[in-house]
Structure 1
Amino acid sequence: MNMITELQIMDRISELPTFWKEKDEELQKEFDELKLIDNNLVQFRNELKLGIQKWILLVRLKDVEGSSYLVNKWTALVVDVEGSSSLVDKWIGLAVGNGVKELHIVVESSPHESAYTLPQAIYSAKLLTTLVLNGCRLDEPLIAINLNSLKNLSLQRVYANEQMVHNLIAECCSLEDLSLRYTLGLKFFSVSKAHKLKNMVIVDYSRSSELESIVAPSLQQLTLVRVIVVATCPNLKKLHLSEIVLEDQEFHELISKFPLLEDLSVSSSQPLERVKFSSNLLKRVAFLFCRSLRAVDLDTPNLLSFTFESVRIPTISISASHQCPWNVFFVHEHDVGDIDNWYLKLKEFLGASNQIENLLINLRSVNIRQMPFDLEEFKNRSPSLPFQVGNMRLIVGMEVPIQEYKNLMDGIFWICYPKNLYLPKQFNASSQFIEWLLELLWNRNEKCCKSCPIKCWRHYLKNTKTASFLPNGDARPINIDNWRDRLPMLPDGYLRERLPTLPDGNFKLNLEWCFPEHDA
């Protein structure tokens, strides 16, 4: 049998202004061509017996001067939707009749318009393996559901009640991946017969759904966004929770239901304050901008990766493998306290690991003038040497006097010393800071504190080995080592004039230090 791998229906008048008279004439021509396409599809089926492997249809219901539009995914085909819905039904029927394997139907409509209702033929697509529905309506089937080959089902902004969705999933005996995003009309929901289900994503923007239960013994990966569910998934290995309202006890009770969990990610869970659990199987853990989180205590000896991103720096204790890299991202905001205490908490946090692979510090919102920093006081409060990190990306976006930059970097380099320092160039203020820091690193003065028992970072920086600029995207790196060699011969302000000519990107500096190693 011949095979059409992907069927598309196209035209080119979507960009014409709606007020052109000629457009109305073109609409009629397009409607005639639409009928021609319909006839051709029928001909393909009846005469050539073509099979369709993948079919994508985008329908846009948009009220513009009383007209509606049918728009193909790639280019626009403008017709009257009310007059062509039967043709869309027929196309879907033809696709199903020709053994379509992947079917994507997207309907865009304004809130006051009725949703397009899918034809009954959709329930008899016995060879269909992937079904993606967006913005349409699913009515109760009048025929037996025959979707035995369906492995991937995605419902987004689909109008359907819970019984309809439950019946649909129950008849998909091969279902492996299920995605429910903003499904309208779904109040209570239970999954119990999808015995092969491995991956499930549930997103509820309005928080209106109450998922009664998920009983899926084979489920291995679960993502919940703004929805809480009682889950019976003893084989679950990956769990992602986002924007979930969970108190500490509720969180720990939920985690305890998944004894085989290997991958845990929690993002934007605001009430969560203290996390404490143990697992010999967990390999990856991530907490992303859980702003209320104050304490993390994990006993995870086989952990392979830990990621933490937040504005608040919690106390932390993790028992993990020495080979477990940490990826840390902190943003300083005005409401998290003065810069001295923030620095102190950051140093204590980094000291809990011997392998900080990536560290990002964002100080764009810090007003240093209102938060003065005293290095000597900071060293007295935290006399231990700084900790080594692999890659540090430092974002400083405010324009302040040079002395304030000095205080800022004295604190940063007493917290940690990076092997590779990345300085993002994103706006004018960052250029001023980068200019100052490049000159400081290339021409540092080591006579500043020779008489002090605890010296500053300048005495431990041996060399800035390589320097390059990495433009965003796929552009080739720009070598800037020659800037350093030429700097003494260049006029004042050369870097200030040169930096704005560069595109957005990152300066990369490879730094050699001679700090004594911390005891393991």
Structure 2
Amino acid sequence: MAAIAPLSEVDASAEAEKIMDGISDLPKAILHNILARLPDKDSARTSVLSKAWRETWCTFPILSICSYQFFRSQDVTVENSHSLIDKVIDYVGRRLLSLRDRGLAIKEFKLMLDYVDNEYMSHHLDLWLKMAIESGCEVLQLCLHRGFLGAEYSQDRFYDLPLSVTVSKSLIKLELTGGIRVDQAFLTHSIMLYSVRILTLCNLIFTRDGIIDHLISHCPLIEVLTVKYCVVYNPLSIGNPQVSRFNKVNSLFLHGLHKLKRANVQGIKEVYIDAPNLEVLQFFHRTSNHPNASFKLNLDGFTNLRWLCLWSWKISDIGDKWFLELFSKLPFLEDLDLRGCSLSERISIMSAQLKVLGLSNCSNVKEVNVDAPNLLSLVYRGKNQPVISFRRTSNELEVKVSLCSLRNCLQNIKPQNILASVSLFIYQSFPIEPMHGAFQVSSIPPTVRHLELGCAPENEALYFPFMNYLFSSCCPKLITFKLSSNKVDRKAFIEFLYEVLMGRKEGKCHCSSSNTKCWWHALKIVKVTCSFKFDENADLKSILDALPKCYSNEKITFMLEL
């Protein structure tokens, strides 16, 4: 058999052109699908590849425009603002007119502007939205930021949303964020957003109470709703500096949303949603101006709720009685996530359906009693170390904790046989002094499933005391180190950890003067793996040398066998 000669650079280039020509010959629908899967910047670059790709780009029905593609908001000055904005106006206008002249639909129109001169641009925005709506646009995302909001929270810096948006029968997704004002004319206008499934309203200003309720309630097929930190203009503030010009939307009353499955509501004090098929609810009511304000949230009608996430509730809102009533009201609740809540000292969780429980930075709590036979995961994050007791547990239960006082945390988990499934996440260094014998113990520490480290001491002299503290607290089967690009040389710490595990690094461990030997004396095998693609048989040095330049999400794992 004749040997196959390697391709020359010329041959390789020709082969690449053939492949590109083959792709260019694909149907336009497939080429558009390829562009839709690329980042916006990369999809725009395809227009220079060939005449076929340029034609594909010109007929691409998805327009995604960000002002940072043309200028940075910090570079805008009074003298150059109009010339910079004109670049955006010219580009968007040409793209929209090209599609309209060809009789092509605009499936998605996404406009994200960090700087906008309202007086100079508003009529262009009106025209663009009108063209997109009339073309049968299915996805409309309008995100306006600093140019409208500015240093002063002034009404005249907001863009007035045109009524034409509300008569679209083709819109499936509508997302409005930032410097947009919704006028009271929407209260009397016929809203026909009958096809909208996904609606997002964030940081908008409404000129009258009730507009937001009216707008949402006229989207009968909505399935996903997000409302965050919208405000209402207060006309009584005119000429009265003592009266706030803008108030947070105080209440949200929504009726007839029988298709709604997911809702995320933040910054509203009183919420009532008539949505019997709701499955996911996130609710964050607290605001910085009124941290102790009371709130109301109806849960009685959410009989199909599967996931509930509550942020910043206070102690008067959540107690033992609340937990007992919660699971009777929500018989299908599988995931309960409490974040930043001020709980009572003792809480009890009793549910046959609950599978995931999260408690993050919840103050005051000293005791957590869990009776959930189907619980698969408990995640606890916080500075305090409550006693966590399990009455009935699943064989697949995994407990994840992220605490400073590791040893106390493990001692507070009852019964102790649960520890075999515990995953520990350590994301901040302990205040450890390099003192010999500081962590001596009289018994072998408990075995845990996984120890994940997201930190390392800055001082190399603290490497051994830090690891000594961890190993005197628990015996992990897996140790994972999460890499990040910062001032700490984590590669040096990983090498140190490996040398300790392999017994090559000399040091006085916590059992050196005790009859009870620590677990790493019995360590037989240490296997190193990494999250990025690499030879699985490579040694640690080769792995560290092959680390990508940006490795913020990369991990190195040590699999241990005693």
Task: Place the TM-score, normalised by the shorter chain, in its bin.
Answer: 0.7 to 0.9
| Contact 2:339/2:361, CA 8 A, preserved across alignment | yes
| Contact 1:240/1:264, CA 8 A, preserved across alignment | yes
Q: CA deviation at 1:293?
A: 2.7
Are the structure 2 counterparts of residues 401 and 292 from structure 1 closer, same or farther at C-alpha, using a change threshold of 3 Å? Answer: same
| Contact 1:396/1:430, CA 8 A, preserved across alignment | yes
| Contact 2:434/2:461, CA 8 A, preserved across alignment | no
State which of 200, 208, 217 in structure 2 corresponds to 1:170. 217
Instruction: Specify the alignment match of 1:330 in structure 2.
Output: 403
Instruction: Specify the alignment match of 2:181 in structure 1.
Output: 137
CA distance in 2, matches of 1:278, 1:166: 36
State which of 81, 84, 89 in structure 1 corresponds to 2:126. 89
Secondary structure of 1:331's match? coil
Instruction: Specify the alignment match of 2:46 in structure 1.
Output: none
CA distance in 1, matches of 2:161, 2:144: 11
Alignment of 1:40-439 (within 5 A): 41=97, 45=100, 48-62=102-116, 68=117, 81-108=118-145, 109=148, 110=150, 111-112=153-154, 113-135=156-178, 136-140=180-184, 141=186, 142-160=188-206, 161-185=208-232, 186-204=249-267, 209-227=268-286, 228-231=295-298, 232-247=301-316, 248-249=318-319, 251-252=322-323, 253-254=325-326, 256-318=328-390, 319-332=392-405, 343-349=407-413, 351=416, 353-356=418-421, 358-362=423-427, 364-368=429-433, 373-375=438-440, 378-379=441-442, 383=443, 385-393=445-453, 395-399=455-459, 401=461, 405-406=464-465, 408-424=466-482, 427-428=487-488, 433-439=493-499
Which structure is richer in relative contact order (CA contacts within 8 A, separation 6 or more)?
A: 1
| Contact 2:71/2:84, CA 8 A, preserved across alignment | no
Secondary structure of 1:165's match? helix
Are the structure 2 counterparts of residues 162 and 218 from structure 1 closer, same or farther at C-alpha, using a change threshold of 3 Å? Answer: farther
CA distance in 2, matches of 1:171, 1:266: 32
Q: In the alignment, is residue 512 of structure 1 matched against residue 554 of structure 2?
A: no
Q: CA deviation at 1:301?
A: 0.6
1 or 2, which has the higher strand percentage?
1
Secondary structure of 1:219's match? coil
Query: Which piece of structure 1 moves more, 211-220 or 118-127?
Result: 211-220
For the aligned residues, what is the CA RMSD? 4.0
CA distance in 1, matches of 2:255, 2:502: 65
Amino acid at match of 1:418: P
Q: CA deviation at 1:355?
A: 4.1
CA distance in 2, matches of 1:169, 1:384: 60
Query: Which piece of structure 1 moves more, 384-393 or 126-135?
Result: 384-393
| Contact 2:252/2:272, CA 8 A, preserved across alignment | yes
Q: CA deviation at 1:50?
A: 2.9
TM-score where L is the length of structure 2: 0.70
Structure 2, gaps ≥5 residues long = 1-28, 30-58, 233-248, 287-294
Q: CA deviation at 1:260?
A: 1.7
| Contact 2:439/2:472, CA 8 A, preserved across alignment | no
CA distance in 2, matches of 1:451, 1:44: 80
Q: CA deviation at 1:33?
A: 4.2
TM-score where L is the length of structure 1: 0.75
Secondary structure of 1:223's match? strand
Are the structure 2 counterparts of residues 162 and 195 from structure 1 closer, same or farther at C-alpha, using a change threshold of 3 Å? Answer: farther
Q: CA deviation at 1:254?
A: 4.8
Are the structure 2 counterparts of residues 349 and 396 from structure 1 closer, same or farther at C-alpha, using a change threshold of 3 Å? Answer: farther
Amino acid at match of 2:309: H
Secondary structure of 2:231's match? coil
CA deviation map 1:373-408 (0-9, x unaligned): 341xx32xxx46522323443734153757x835x5
Structure 1, gaps ≥5 residues long = 63-67, 69-80, 333-341, 485-494, 514-520
Instruction: Specify the alignment match of 1:65 in structure 2.
Output: none
Q: CA deviation at 1:349?
A: 2.4
| Contact 1:362/1:395, CA 8 A, preserved across alignment | yes
Secondary structure of 1:52's match? coil
Secondary structure of 2:395's match? coil
| Contact 1:262/1:281, CA 8 A, preserved across alignment | yes
Q: In the alignment, is residue 7 of structure 1 matched against residue 55 of structure 2?
A: no
Are the structure 2 counterparts of residues 328 and 28 from structure 1 closer, same or farther at C-alpha, using a change threshold of 3 Å? Answer: closer
| Contact 1:363/1:397, CA 8 A, preserved across alignment | no
CA deviation map 1:233-261 (0-9, x unaligned): 12111101122324442752555532221
Amino acid at match of 2:306: K
Are the structure 2 counterparts of residues 229 and 475 from structure 1 closer, same or farther at C-alpha, using a change threshold of 3 Å? Answer: farther
Secondary structure of 1:122's match? helix
Instruction: Specify the alignment match of 2:517 in structure 1.
Output: 455
CA distance in 1, matches of 2:99, 2:452: 60
Secondary structure of 1:222's match? strand
Are the structure 2 counterparts of residues 265 and 19 from structure 1 closer, same or farther at C-alpha, using a change threshold of 3 Å? Answer: closer
In the alignment of these two chains, the number of paired residues is: 455
Instruction: Specify the alignment match of 2:528 in structure 1.
Output: 467
Q: CA deviation at 1:438?
A: 3.1
CA distance in 1, matches of 2:213, 2:157: 23
